[in-house]
Amino acid sequence: MVDMDQLQQRALQELEDVGSSEGLEAWRQAYLGRAGELTTALRGIGQLPAAERPAAGQRANQVRQVLTSAFEAREKAIEAQSLAAMLESSSLDVRLPGRPPSLGHLHVINQVLRDVYAIFAQMGFSVFQTREVEDDTTNFQMLNIPPDHPARDMWSTFYTTTPGVLLRTHTSPGQVHAMRQFHPDPFRVILPGKCYRYEQVTTRSEYMFHQVEGLAIGQHITMGDLKGILEHFARQMFGPERRLRFRASYFPFTEPSAEADVDCAICGGKGCQLCKHTGWLEILGGGMVHPTVLANGGYDPAIYSGFAFGMGPERLALLKYGINDIRLFYANDVRFLQQFG
């Protein structure tokens, strides 16, 4: 039988000289592996006289425990050493602050749109999405704008090569789609989306822009309801002390029609560059849905009434953030857009 004391001593001594994980593995194979010295010795115990076996077995198992825990300790020490060596030799300094990946964010117009949705949701309006490509009938005629109507001049338009098909010039044709979908129930919706007009691009107009249309249809709806919801909207959007004023206006699809202004948040109504020294900023058009439009949507104007309005989110953003050029929104200059992250 092998001398266990001598085996243990030799193994421990060799282990002390091991300096790498490869050396460690070789040592493990030599002593504790399947063909290792200790394993072989353990196997040899079976050949001993029966009386010697228990003592020999016990001693061999002690040695196995000693060698195993010595191995584990050495393994840990070698790992720590090699980590320290790596940190020493490489230029990675884990104490330096990391470089955070740059995160994107919603475009400022989408943020404004979501603000608008949230404010109208409080008042029971849901969002109704309709098409961006319209026909002449829905974009104009159903809204009380016949082919020879002078109001068409305001909406000089992108026509497609298919006769009568155009990019919508406003979200108002969505009113007809909504009425036909909800008829004969009362309802209130907002209709957001992109609109297109063939226009000279200036600081105040773009050929693509957004609108949010509003439409409420039911019985006994009045201009007072329109004023009330718009006032609530303006205060939520621009601050609780904002005032709203209505001016008489004209749209073919509403009667009576109005335009609404908020008092200028920058100068508080005293007059400044942003409000062109009037103290007021126009934010939307609206009015009571014209009886002809109600009928085109399937609602009997003798029984039903409704209000409608249309506003431009780009315009709201200009006012809210005091921006002076609408072209900045779509010029894709990240230095501008990042301010709204």
**What is the contact surface with ligand DAH in residues (CB under 6 A)?**
170, 172, 213, 251, 254, 285-287, 308-310
**Sign, CA torsion 42/46/48/53:** positive
Q: How far apart are the first and last CA of the chain?
A: 78
Taking alpha carbons only, the member of 164, 169, 163 closest to residue 131 is 169
Strand ranges, E, within the chain: 126-127, 133-135, 165-167, 187-196, 208-218, 244-251, 254-263, 280-289, 305-311
Closest approach of ligand DAH to the CB of residue 309, in Å: 5
**Nearer Cβ to ligand DAH, position 287 or 313?**
287
Residue 280: DSSP 8-state: E
Closest approach of ligand DAH to the CB of residue 192, in Å: 13
**Nearer Cβ to ligand DAH, position 63 or 230?**
230
Evaluate whether 78 touches 19 at the Cβ level (below 8 Å).
Answer: yes
Closest approach of ligand DAH to the CB of residue 246, in Å: 12
Closest approach of ligand DAH to the CB of residue 296, in Å: 14
**Nearer Cβ to ligand DAH, position 46 or 224?**
224
Closest approach of ligand DAH to the CB of residue 310, in Å: 3
**Nearer Cβ to ligand DAH, position 8 or 172?**
172
- How far is Cα 49 from Cα 42, in angstroms, rounded to an integer? 14
Nearest residue to ligand DAH on Cβ basis: 310
**Nearer Cβ to ligand DAH, position 136 or 213?**
213
| Token pair recorded at residue 299 | 């609602």
